[in-house]
Protein backbone atom coordinates (compact mmCIF):
# COMPACT_ATOMS: atom_id res chain seq x y z
CA UNK A 1 0.00 0.00 0.00
CA UNK A 2 1.62 3.30 -1.06
CA UNK A 3 0.95 5.17 2.16
CA UNK A 4 3.85 6.51 4.15
CA UNK A 5 3.97 6.54 7.93
CA UNK A 6 4.56 9.90 9.61
CA UNK A 7 8.14 8.88 10.43
CA UNK A 8 8.81 7.97 6.80
CA UNK A 9 7.36 11.31 5.76
CA UNK A 10 9.58 13.26 8.16
CA UNK A 11 12.62 11.30 6.99
CA UNK A 12 11.78 12.06 3.37
CA UNK A 13 11.65 15.81 4.09
CA UNK A 14 14.92 15.56 6.00
CA UNK A 15 16.60 14.19 2.89
CA UNK A 16 15.76 17.23 0.75
CA UNK A 17 18.75 19.47 0.08
CA UNK A 18 17.34 22.97 -0.08
CA UNK A 19 18.45 26.58 0.26
CA UNK A 20 16.36 27.91 3.18
CA UNK A 21 16.64 31.26 4.94
CA UNK A 22 14.95 32.23 8.17
CA UNK A 23 15.41 35.51 10.06
CA UNK A 24 18.51 36.37 8.06
CA UNK A 25 20.27 33.06 8.44
CA UNK A 26 20.73 29.99 6.27
CA UNK A 27 18.95 26.97 7.76
CA UNK A 28 20.42 23.53 7.09
CA UNK A 29 17.34 21.50 7.94
CA UNK A 30 13.77 22.70 8.35
CA UNK A 31 12.97 19.43 10.14
CA UNK A 32 14.98 20.27 13.25
CA UNK A 33 14.30 24.01 13.33
CA UNK A 34 12.14 24.95 16.36
CA UNK A 35 10.19 27.60 14.40
CA UNK A 36 9.38 25.17 11.60
CA UNK A 37 8.95 21.88 13.39
CA UNK A 38 5.38 22.51 14.65
CA UNK A 39 4.19 22.91 11.05
CA UNK A 40 5.97 19.74 9.97
CA UNK A 41 4.28 17.83 12.79
CA UNK A 42 0.87 19.17 11.71
CA UNK A 43 1.49 17.98 8.13
CA UNK A 44 2.81 14.65 9.45
CA UNK A 45 -0.54 14.01 11.11
CA UNK A 46 -2.08 13.61 7.62
CA UNK A 47 0.14 10.51 7.37
CA UNK A 48 -0.39 9.25 10.89
CA UNK A 49 -4.19 9.33 10.70
CA UNK A 50 -4.14 7.43 7.40
CA UNK A 51 -2.87 4.46 9.44
CA UNK A 52 -5.18 5.01 12.39
CA UNK A 53 -7.93 2.35 12.43
CA UNK A 54 -10.43 4.95 13.61
CA UNK A 55 -9.73 7.44 10.83
CA UNK A 56 -8.20 5.60 7.90
CA UNK A 57 -11.54 5.26 6.11
CA UNK A 58 -11.70 9.05 5.93
CA UNK A 59 -7.99 9.63 5.29
CA UNK A 60 -7.64 7.15 2.41
CA UNK A 61 -9.31 6.64 -0.96
CA UNK A 62 -9.14 4.28 -3.91
CA UNK A 63 -7.06 5.86 -6.66
CA UNK A 64 -8.83 6.31 -9.98
CA UNK A 65 -5.41 6.13 -11.66
CA UNK A 66 -4.02 2.91 -10.19
CA UNK A 67 -6.80 1.31 -8.14
CA UNK A 68 -4.50 1.38 -5.12
CA UNK A 69 -5.51 2.71 -1.75
CA UNK A 70 -3.84 6.10 -1.43
CA UNK A 71 -3.84 8.96 1.02
CA UNK A 72 -6.97 11.07 0.38
CA UNK A 73 -4.73 14.14 0.31
CA UNK A 74 -3.50 12.92 -3.11
CA UNK A 75 -6.87 11.78 -4.48
CA UNK A 76 -8.69 13.19 -7.52
CA UNK A 77 -12.34 13.63 -6.59
CA UNK A 78 -14.71 11.66 -8.79
CA UNK A 79 -17.99 11.92 -6.87
CA UNK A 80 -19.99 14.02 -4.48
CA UNK A 81 -19.08 11.51 -1.81
CA UNK A 82 -15.36 12.11 -2.43
CA UNK A 83 -15.89 15.82 -1.93
CA UNK A 84 -18.03 15.33 1.17
CA UNK A 85 -15.39 13.08 2.69
CA UNK A 86 -12.77 15.69 1.94
CA UNK A 87 -14.66 18.36 3.93
CA UNK A 88 -15.09 15.89 6.81
CA UNK A 89 -11.41 14.92 6.68
CA UNK A 90 -10.36 18.57 6.83
CA UNK A 91 -12.64 19.23 9.80
CA UNK A 92 -11.13 16.25 11.58
CA UNK A 93 -7.60 17.50 10.86
CA UNK A 94 -8.52 20.97 12.15
CA UNK A 95 -9.90 19.39 15.32
CA UNK A 96 -6.73 17.38 15.88
CA UNK A 97 -4.21 20.17 15.18
CA UNK A 98 -5.94 23.51 15.80
CA UNK A 99 -3.90 24.99 12.93
CA UNK A 100 -3.45 24.93 9.16
CA UNK A 101 -2.02 21.49 8.35
CA UNK A 102 -1.06 22.71 4.87
CA UNK A 103 -1.64 19.67 2.70
CA UNK A 104 -5.01 20.57 1.16
CA UNK A 105 -3.80 23.44 -1.01
CA UNK A 106 -1.76 20.95 -3.05
CA UNK A 107 -4.67 18.52 -3.13
CA UNK A 108 -6.96 21.23 -4.50
CA UNK A 109 -4.33 22.35 -7.01
CA UNK A 110 -3.86 18.79 -8.30
CA UNK A 111 -7.61 18.49 -8.79
CA UNK A 112 -7.74 21.78 -10.72
CA UNK A 113 -4.73 20.89 -12.89
CA UNK A 114 -6.11 17.40 -13.58
CA UNK A 115 -9.30 18.65 -15.25
CA UNK A 116 -7.67 21.73 -16.83
CA UNK A 117 -4.95 19.73 -18.61
CA UNK A 118 -7.65 17.38 -19.90
CA UNK A 119 -9.55 20.35 -21.36
CA UNK A 120 -6.44 21.84 -22.99
CA UNK A 121 -5.57 18.52 -24.64
CA UNK A 122 -9.11 18.08 -25.95
CA UNK A 123 -8.97 21.43 -27.68
CA UNK A 124 -5.29 21.72 -28.68
CA UNK A 125 -4.18 18.12 -29.15
CA UNK A 126 -1.39 18.58 -26.59
CA UNK A 127 -0.26 15.91 -24.14
CA UNK A 128 -0.35 17.82 -20.87
CA UNK A 129 -2.94 15.56 -19.25
CA UNK A 130 -0.89 12.43 -19.91
CA UNK A 131 2.16 14.12 -18.40
CA UNK A 132 0.15 15.25 -15.39
CA UNK A 133 -1.28 11.76 -14.84
CA UNK A 134 2.28 10.40 -14.80
CA UNK A 135 3.26 13.03 -12.26
CA UNK A 136 0.15 12.36 -10.16
CA UNK A 137 0.74 8.61 -10.20
CA UNK A 138 4.18 9.22 -8.67
CA UNK A 139 2.70 11.60 -6.10
CA UNK A 140 0.19 8.92 -5.09
CA UNK A 141 2.64 6.03 -5.15
CA UNK A 142 5.24 7.90 -3.10
CA UNK A 143 2.59 9.63 -0.96
CA UNK A 144 4.04 13.10 -1.48
CA UNK A 145 2.98 16.54 -0.35
CA UNK A 146 2.64 19.00 -3.21
CA UNK A 147 2.92 22.75 -2.65
CA UNK A 148 0.27 24.70 -4.58
CA UNK A 149 2.34 27.57 -5.98
CA UNK A 150 -0.17 30.01 -7.43
CA UNK A 151 0.23 33.44 -5.79
CA UNK A 152 2.77 35.70 -7.50
CA UNK A 153 4.23 38.72 -5.66
CA UNK A 154 2.21 40.92 -8.13
CA UNK A 155 4.10 44.22 -7.63
CA UNK A 156 1.87 47.11 -8.79
CA UNK A 157 -1.64 45.63 -8.61
CA UNK A 158 -2.93 48.10 -11.20
CA UNK A 159 -0.61 46.67 -13.88
CA UNK A 160 -0.71 43.40 -15.80
CA UNK A 161 2.28 41.01 -15.59
CA UNK A 162 3.94 42.34 -18.75
CA UNK A 163 3.50 45.98 -17.69
CA UNK A 164 5.39 45.61 -14.39
CA UNK A 165 8.62 47.61 -14.01
CA UNK A 166 10.23 44.30 -13.00
CA UNK A 167 8.98 41.44 -15.21
CA UNK A 168 9.89 38.87 -12.55
CA UNK A 169 7.08 39.98 -10.24
CA UNK A 170 5.02 37.34 -12.00
CA UNK A 171 6.70 34.00 -12.67
CA UNK A 172 7.43 33.61 -16.38
CA UNK A 173 9.31 31.70 -19.04
CA UNK A 174 12.68 33.30 -19.83
CA UNK A 175 14.05 30.71 -22.23
CA UNK A 176 12.63 27.91 -24.37
CA UNK A 177 14.82 24.97 -25.29
CA UNK A 178 14.09 21.77 -27.15
CA UNK A 179 14.24 19.71 -23.97
CA UNK A 180 12.40 22.14 -21.69
CA UNK A 181 12.06 25.72 -20.42
CA UNK A 182 13.80 28.06 -17.99
CA UNK A 183 11.55 30.03 -15.62
CA UNK A 184 12.14 32.98 -13.30
CA UNK A 185 10.03 34.65 -10.61
CA UNK A 186 8.64 33.82 -7.20
CA UNK A 187 5.55 32.52 -5.44
CA UNK A 188 4.53 34.25 -2.22
CA UNK A 189 2.76 33.15 1.00
CA UNK A 190 3.36 29.50 0.17
CA UNK A 191 1.55 27.38 2.74
CA UNK A 192 3.60 24.36 3.77
CA UNK A 193 6.37 25.16 1.27
CA UNK A 194 9.10 23.61 3.42
CA UNK A 195 7.03 20.54 4.21
CA UNK A 196 6.45 19.65 0.55
CA UNK A 197 8.20 17.23 -1.79
CA UNK A 198 7.09 18.87 -5.03
CA UNK A 199 6.17 22.41 -6.09
CA UNK A 200 3.24 22.62 -8.52
CA UNK A 201 3.38 26.03 -10.21
CA UNK A 202 0.30 27.63 -11.75
CA UNK A 203 -0.46 31.14 -13.07
CA UNK A 204 -2.15 33.42 -10.57
CA UNK A 205 -4.82 35.13 -12.69
CA UNK A 206 -6.49 35.23 -16.11
CA UNK A 207 -4.03 36.35 -18.79
CA UNK A 208 -4.24 38.05 -22.17
CA UNK A 209 -2.35 36.83 -25.23
CA UNK A 210 0.41 39.47 -24.81
CA UNK A 211 1.25 37.87 -21.44
CA UNK A 212 1.58 34.34 -22.78
CA UNK A 213 5.10 33.94 -21.30
CA UNK A 214 3.33 33.99 -17.93
CA UNK A 215 0.87 31.24 -18.91
CA UNK A 216 2.95 28.37 -17.60
CA UNK A 217 2.20 25.41 -15.37
CA UNK A 218 4.69 22.78 -14.23
CA UNK A 219 5.99 20.76 -11.29
CA UNK A 220 9.54 20.58 -9.95
CA UNK A 221 11.04 18.67 -7.01
CA UNK A 222 11.25 20.90 -3.91
CA UNK A 223 15.05 20.60 -3.87
CA UNK A 224 15.62 21.66 -7.48
CA UNK A 225 18.85 23.62 -7.94
CA UNK A 226 18.15 27.37 -7.98
CA UNK A 227 15.10 27.39 -5.68
CA UNK A 228 15.44 29.61 -2.59
CA UNK A 229 13.00 29.57 0.34
CA UNK A 230 12.59 32.54 2.67
CA UNK A 231 10.54 31.64 5.73
CA UNK A 232 7.68 33.94 6.82
CA UNK A 233 7.49 35.33 10.37
CA UNK A 234 4.37 34.80 12.45
CA UNK A 235 2.86 36.56 15.47
CA UNK A 236 4.49 35.43 18.75
CA UNK A 237 6.68 32.98 16.83
CA UNK A 238 9.64 33.41 19.19
CA UNK A 239 7.68 31.57 21.85
CA UNK A 240 8.42 28.46 19.80
CA UNK A 241 12.10 28.95 20.65
CA UNK A 242 11.39 28.90 24.39
CA UNK A 243 12.53 25.85 26.30
CA UNK A 244 12.32 24.79 29.92
CA UNK A 245 9.52 24.18 32.41
CA UNK A 246 6.40 26.18 31.63
CA UNK A 247 7.38 27.09 28.07
CA UNK A 248 4.75 24.70 26.71
CA UNK A 249 2.06 26.74 28.46
CA UNK A 250 3.28 29.98 26.86
CA UNK A 251 3.20 28.45 23.38
CA UNK A 252 -0.57 28.10 23.58
CA UNK A 253 -0.54 25.30 21.02
CA UNK A 254 2.55 23.35 22.11
CA UNK A 255 2.32 20.73 19.38
CA UNK A 256 1.35 22.29 16.06
CA UNK A 257 1.67 25.37 13.87
CA UNK A 258 1.31 26.51 10.28
CA UNK A 259 3.88 27.75 7.82
CA UNK A 260 4.27 30.14 4.91
CA UNK A 261 7.34 30.99 2.85
CA UNK A 262 8.43 32.89 -0.24
CA UNK A 263 9.71 30.53 -2.94
CA UNK A 264 12.12 32.12 -5.41
CA UNK A 265 12.73 30.46 -8.79
CA UNK A 266 16.10 31.73 -9.90
CA UNK A 267 16.27 30.54 -13.53
CA UNK A 268 14.98 27.03 -12.92
CA UNK A 269 15.11 24.49 -15.73
CA UNK A 270 11.89 22.52 -16.20
CA UNK A 271 12.07 19.41 -18.40
CA UNK A 272 9.33 19.06 -21.02
CA UNK A 273 7.62 16.08 -19.37
CA UNK A 274 6.97 18.23 -16.28
CA UNK A 275 5.29 21.08 -18.18
CA UNK A 276 1.48 21.04 -17.95
CA UNK A 277 0.70 24.31 -19.73
CA UNK A 278 2.74 26.64 -21.90
CA UNK A 279 1.24 29.75 -23.53
CA UNK A 280 -2.44 28.58 -23.45
CA UNK A 281 -3.82 31.87 -22.04
CA UNK A 282 -7.50 31.03 -22.58
CA UNK A 283 -7.28 28.14 -20.10
CA UNK A 284 -5.69 30.15 -17.29
CA UNK A 285 -8.91 31.84 -16.07
CA UNK A 286 -10.84 28.57 -15.74
CA UNK A 287 -7.87 26.90 -14.02
CA UNK A 288 -7.63 29.68 -11.41
CA UNK A 289 -11.39 29.54 -10.91
CA UNK A 290 -11.35 25.77 -10.36
CA UNK A 291 -8.53 25.87 -7.86
CA UNK A 292 -10.11 28.81 -6.02
CA UNK A 293 -13.48 27.05 -5.70
CA UNK A 294 -12.00 23.73 -4.53
CA UNK A 295 -9.96 25.55 -1.91
CA UNK A 296 -12.80 27.85 -0.85
CA UNK A 297 -14.89 24.79 -0.08
CA UNK A 298 -11.97 23.31 1.89
CA UNK A 299 -12.19 26.19 4.35
CA UNK A 300 -15.63 24.91 5.34
CA UNK A 301 -13.77 21.92 6.77
CA UNK A 302 -10.42 23.03 8.20
CA UNK A 303 -11.52 26.30 9.82
CA UNK A 304 -14.58 24.61 11.29
CA UNK A 305 -12.35 21.98 12.89
CA UNK A 306 -10.15 24.71 14.39
CA UNK A 307 -13.36 26.45 15.49
CA UNK A 308 -14.36 23.29 17.35
CA UNK A 309 -11.17 23.52 19.42
CA UNK A 310 -11.81 27.20 20.18
CA UNK A 311 -15.38 26.45 21.25
CA UNK A 312 -13.98 23.64 23.41
CA UNK A 313 -11.43 26.01 24.94
CA UNK A 314 -14.12 28.64 25.60
CA UNK A 315 -16.44 26.12 27.28
CA UNK A 316 -13.47 24.84 29.32
CA UNK A 317 -12.42 28.27 30.55
CA UNK A 318 -16.03 29.01 31.52
CA UNK A 319 -15.97 25.80 33.53
CA UNK A 320 -12.60 26.66 35.14
CA UNK A 321 -13.78 30.21 35.90
CA UNK A 322 -17.03 29.00 37.46
CA UNK A 323 -19.17 30.78 34.86
CA UNK A 324 -20.38 27.83 32.81
CA UNK A 325 -23.91 27.88 34.24
CA UNK A 326 -24.43 31.61 33.72
CA UNK A 327 -27.17 32.01 31.11
CA UNK A 328 -25.44 34.50 28.81
CA UNK A 329 -22.29 32.34 28.78
CA UNK A 330 -24.35 29.32 27.74
CA UNK A 331 -25.95 31.41 25.00
CA UNK A 332 -22.56 32.57 23.78
CA UNK A 333 -21.34 28.98 23.43
CA UNK A 334 -24.49 28.22 21.42
CA UNK A 335 -23.82 31.28 19.25
CA UNK A 336 -20.26 30.08 18.55
CA UNK A 337 -21.56 26.64 17.62
CA UNK A 338 -24.22 28.10 15.34
CA UNK A 339 -21.67 30.24 13.50
CA UNK A 340 -19.23 27.36 13.18
CA UNK A 341 -21.81 24.92 11.82
CA UNK A 342 -23.00 27.50 9.27
CA UNK A 343 -19.56 27.38 7.63
CA UNK A 344 -19.59 23.58 7.69
CA UNK A 345 -23.07 23.51 6.15
CA UNK A 346 -21.87 25.74 3.30
CA UNK A 347 -18.82 23.50 2.69
CA UNK A 348 -20.91 20.34 2.67
CA UNK A 349 -23.53 21.85 0.40
CA UNK A 350 -20.87 22.90 -2.14
CA UNK A 351 -19.86 19.21 -2.19
CA UNK A 352 -23.39 17.86 -2.43
CA UNK A 353 -24.19 20.13 -5.42
CA UNK A 354 -20.97 19.21 -7.26
CA UNK A 355 -21.07 18.13 -10.91
CA UNK A 356 -18.71 16.24 -13.22
CA UNK A 357 -16.33 18.00 -15.61
CA UNK A 358 -15.39 16.58 -19.04
CA UNK A 359 -12.39 14.77 -17.49
CA UNK A 360 -14.74 12.83 -15.17
CA UNK A 361 -13.46 14.63 -12.08
CA UNK A 362 -16.07 16.49 -10.05
CA UNK A 363 -16.10 20.23 -9.49
CA UNK A 364 -17.80 21.86 -6.52
CA UNK A 365 -20.81 24.16 -6.85
CA UNK A 366 -19.05 27.50 -7.43
CA UNK A 367 -21.67 29.73 -5.78
CA UNK A 368 -21.86 27.61 -2.63
CA UNK A 369 -18.07 27.24 -2.44
CA UNK A 370 -17.71 31.02 -2.58
CA UNK A 371 -20.52 31.55 -0.08
CA UNK A 372 -18.65 29.13 2.17
CA UNK A 373 -15.36 31.02 1.92
CA UNK A 374 -17.01 34.43 2.19
CA UNK A 375 -18.63 33.35 5.46
CA UNK A 376 -15.19 32.13 6.60
CA UNK A 377 -13.85 35.66 6.07
CA UNK A 378 -16.29 36.89 8.74
CA UNK A 379 -17.61 34.27 11.15
CA UNK A 380 -14.29 33.18 12.75
CA UNK A 381 -13.83 36.80 13.87
CA UNK A 382 -17.18 36.64 15.67
CA UNK A 383 -16.24 33.30 17.20
CA UNK A 384 -12.84 34.66 18.29
CA UNK A 385 -14.51 37.71 19.80
CA UNK A 386 -16.81 35.58 21.93
CA UNK A 387 -13.88 33.38 22.98
CA UNK A 388 -12.04 36.46 24.25
CA UNK A 389 -15.18 37.80 25.91
CA UNK A 390 -15.76 34.58 27.85
CA UNK A 391 -12.06 34.02 28.64
CA UNK A 392 -11.64 37.45 30.23
CA UNK A 393 -8.66 39.78 30.13
CA UNK A 394 -6.49 37.24 31.95
CA UNK A 395 -5.92 35.70 28.53
CA UNK A 396 -3.39 38.45 27.78
CA UNK A 397 -2.21 39.42 31.26
CA UNK A 398 -1.29 36.15 32.98
CA UNK A 399 2.38 35.61 33.79
CA UNK A 400 4.59 33.22 31.88
CA UNK A 401 4.35 29.50 32.52
CA UNK A 402 7.93 29.83 33.70
CA UNK A 403 6.73 31.95 36.63
CA UNK A 404 4.50 29.07 37.62
CA UNK A 405 7.67 26.99 37.89
CA UNK A 406 9.69 29.67 39.66
CA UNK A 407 10.89 28.68 43.17
CA UNK A 408 10.36 32.31 44.27
CA UNK A 409 6.93 33.23 42.85
CA UNK A 410 5.49 29.93 41.62
CA UNK A 411 3.31 29.54 44.71
CA UNK A 412 1.92 33.06 44.20
CA UNK A 413 0.99 32.37 40.57
CA UNK A 414 -0.55 29.09 41.68
CA UNK A 415 -2.59 30.83 44.38
CA UNK A 416 -3.75 33.98 42.60
CA UNK A 417 -4.52 32.56 39.16
CA UNK A 418 -6.57 29.69 40.41
CA UNK A 419 -10.18 29.40 39.27
CA UNK A 420 -12.66 26.92 40.70
CA UNK A 421 -11.45 24.51 43.31
CA UNK A 422 -10.32 21.17 41.93
CA UNK A 423 -8.88 22.55 38.65
CA UNK A 424 -5.10 23.03 38.73
CA UNK A 425 -3.96 26.60 37.96
CA UNK A 426 -1.68 25.09 35.34
CA UNK A 427 -4.69 23.80 33.35
CA UNK A 428 -6.42 27.17 33.53
CA UNK A 429 -3.30 28.91 32.20
CA UNK A 430 -3.01 26.37 29.37
CA UNK A 431 -6.55 27.03 28.16
CA UNK A 432 -6.14 30.80 28.43
CA UNK A 433 -2.95 30.60 26.37
CA UNK A 434 -4.63 28.35 23.81
CA UNK A 435 -7.32 31.01 23.27
CA UNK A 436 -4.68 33.75 23.15
CA UNK A 437 -2.71 31.82 20.53
CA UNK A 438 -5.77 31.08 18.40
CA UNK A 439 -7.12 34.65 18.51
CA UNK A 440 -3.94 36.75 18.66
CA UNK A 441 -0.83 34.59 18.29
CA UNK A 442 0.58 32.09 15.79
CA UNK A 443 -2.75 30.30 15.61
CA UNK A 444 -4.54 33.53 14.66
CA UNK A 445 -2.56 33.63 11.45
CA UNK A 446 -4.42 30.51 10.32
CA UNK A 447 -7.74 31.10 12.05
CA UNK A 448 -8.21 34.79 11.27
CA UNK A 449 -5.88 36.35 8.68
CA UNK A 450 -5.74 33.26 6.50
CA UNK A 451 -9.53 33.03 6.79
CA UNK A 452 -9.70 36.47 5.17
CA UNK A 453 -7.04 36.13 2.49
CA UNK A 454 -6.36 32.42 1.96
CA UNK A 455 -7.87 31.09 -1.31
CA UNK A 456 -8.50 34.70 -2.31
CA UNK A 457 -9.59 37.83 -0.45
CA UNK A 458 -13.31 38.54 0.21
CA UNK A 459 -13.85 40.64 -2.91
CA UNK A 460 -12.69 37.72 -5.06
CA UNK A 461 -15.51 35.63 -3.61
CA UNK A 462 -18.07 38.38 -4.26
CA UNK A 463 -16.94 38.60 -7.89
CA UNK A 464 -17.44 34.86 -8.38
CA UNK A 465 -20.79 34.82 -6.57
CA UNK A 466 -21.95 37.53 -8.96
CA UNK A 467 -20.60 35.69 -12.00
CA UNK A 468 -22.14 32.31 -11.19
CA UNK A 469 -25.39 33.23 -9.45
CA UNK A 470 -27.50 33.74 -12.61
CA UNK A 471 -29.39 36.89 -11.67
CA UNK A 472 -31.23 36.84 -15.01
CA UNK A 473 -32.85 33.57 -14.00
CA UNK A 474 -34.00 35.10 -10.72
CA UNK A 475 -35.47 38.09 -12.60
CA UNK A 476 -37.39 35.71 -14.85
CA UNK A 477 -38.79 33.90 -11.83
CA UNK A 478 -40.46 36.98 -10.46
CA UNK A 479 -41.68 38.09 -13.91
CA UNK A 480 -43.36 34.72 -14.32
CA UNK A 481 -45.11 35.07 -10.97
CA UNK A 482 -46.39 38.61 -11.48
CA UNK A 483 -47.08 38.22 -15.19
CA UNK A 484 -44.50 40.33 -17.05
CA UNK A 485 -43.53 39.14 -20.55
FE1 LIG B 1 -5.75 23.21 4.28
FE2 LIG B 1 -7.20 25.01 5.52
FE3 LIG B 1 -4.55 25.26 5.48
FE4 LIG B 1 -5.94 25.68 3.23
S5 LIG B 1 -6.07 26.88 5.15
S6 LIG B 1 -4.09 24.42 3.43
S7 LIG B 1 -7.63 24.21 3.46
S8 LIG B 1 -5.72 23.62 6.46
FE1 LIG C 1 -5.00 28.37 3.19
Domains of the chain (ranges plus CATH)? 6-282 (2.40.110.10), 286-482 (1.20.140.10)
Given the DSSP bridges, would you call strands 227-231 and 260-271 parallel, antiparallel or unpaired?
A: antiparallel
Helix (H) or strand (E) holding 19: strand 19-22
Please provide the DSSP assignment of 199-214 as one string: EEE--SS---GGGGGG
252 to each of 84, 315, 386, how far by Cα in Å? 31, 16, 18
- 24 CB-near residues (< 8 Å, 6+ apart): none
Given the DSSP bridges, would you call strands 146-149 and 198-201 parallel, antiparallel or unpaired?
A: parallel
Minimum-distance ligand 1 atom for the alpha carbon of 105:
6
DSSP state at residue 273: G
Catalytic residue among 229, 299, 320, 447: 299
- For 138, how many CA atoms within 13 A lie in the half-sphere containing its CB? 12
**Opening angle at CA 216, ends 212 and 219, nearest 5:** 175
Per-residue pLDDT of the chain (485 residues; tens, 9 = 90+): 589 999 999 999 999 999 999 999 999 999 999 999 999 999 999 999 999 999 999 999 999 999 999 999 999 999 999 999 999 999 999 999 999 999 999 999 999 999 999 999 999 999 999 999 999 999 999 999 999 999 999 999 999 999 999 999 999 999 999 999 999 999 999 999 999 999 999 999 999 999 999 999 999 999 999 999 999 999 999 999 999 999 999 999 999 999 999 999 999 999 999 999 999 999 999 999 999 999 999 999 999 999 999 999 999 999 999 999 999 999 999 999 999 999 999 999 999 999 999 999 999 999 999 999 999 999 999 999 999 999 999 999 999 999 999 999 999 999 999 999 999 999 999 999 999 999 999 999 999 999 999 999 999 999 999 999 999 999 999 999 999 98
- Is 302 one of the annotated active-site residues of the chain? yes
Give dist(CA 253, CA 238) in Å, integer.
13
Going by alpha carbons, the residue nearest to atom 3 of ligand 1 is 100
Minimum-distance ligand 1 atom for the alpha carbon of 192:
6
From the CB of residue 472, how many other CB atoms can be counted at a distance below 10 Å? 8
Q: Which residues line ligand 1 (CB under 6 A)?
A: 90, 100-102, 104-105, 191, 298-299, 302, 450, 454
Note the ligand closest to the C-alpha atom of 109.
Answer: 1
233 to each of 124, 261, 423, how far by Cα in Å? 43, 9, 35
Ligand 2 centroid, distance to 303 Cα (angstroms) = 10
Query: Coil, strand, or helix at residue 229?
Result: strand
Give dist(CA 98, CA 207) in Å, integer.
37
pLDDT at 1: 55
Which one of 104, 150, 442 would you pick to mutate in the ligand 1 pocket, going by the greatest count of ligand atoms within 8 A of its CB? 104
- Is 344 one of the annotated active-site residues of the chain? no
Phi, psi values for residue 126, rounded to 5°: -80, 180
Catalytic residue among 22, 293, 302, 372: 302
- Is 299 one of the annotated active-site residues of the chain? yes
- Is 293 one of the annotated active-site residues of the chain? no
Closest CA to 188 of 206, 163, 170, 176: 170
Provide the sign of the torsion angle of the four alpha carbons 463, 468, 469, 470, taken in this order.
positive
Helix (H) or strand (E) holding 266: strand 260-271
- Find out whether 441 and 235 touch, Cβ atoms under 8 Å: yes
Closest CA to 448 of 329, 307, 334: 307
From the CB of residue 175, how many other CB atoms can be counted at a distance below 10 Å? 11
Amino acid sequence: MPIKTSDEYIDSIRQLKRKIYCMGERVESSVDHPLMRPSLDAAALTYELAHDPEHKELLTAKSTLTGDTVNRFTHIVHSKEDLTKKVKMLRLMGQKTGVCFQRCAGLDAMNAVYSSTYDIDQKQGTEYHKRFRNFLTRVQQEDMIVDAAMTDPKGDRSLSPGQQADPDLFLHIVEERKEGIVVRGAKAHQTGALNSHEILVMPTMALKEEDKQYAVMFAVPADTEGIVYIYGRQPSDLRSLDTGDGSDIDKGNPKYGGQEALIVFDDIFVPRDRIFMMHECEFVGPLVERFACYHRMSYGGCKVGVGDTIIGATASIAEYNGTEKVSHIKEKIVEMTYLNELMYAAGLSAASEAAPLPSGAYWVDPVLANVCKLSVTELPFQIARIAQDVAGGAMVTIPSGKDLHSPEVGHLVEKYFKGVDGVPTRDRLKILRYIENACLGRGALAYLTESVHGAGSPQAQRVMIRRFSNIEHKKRLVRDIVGID
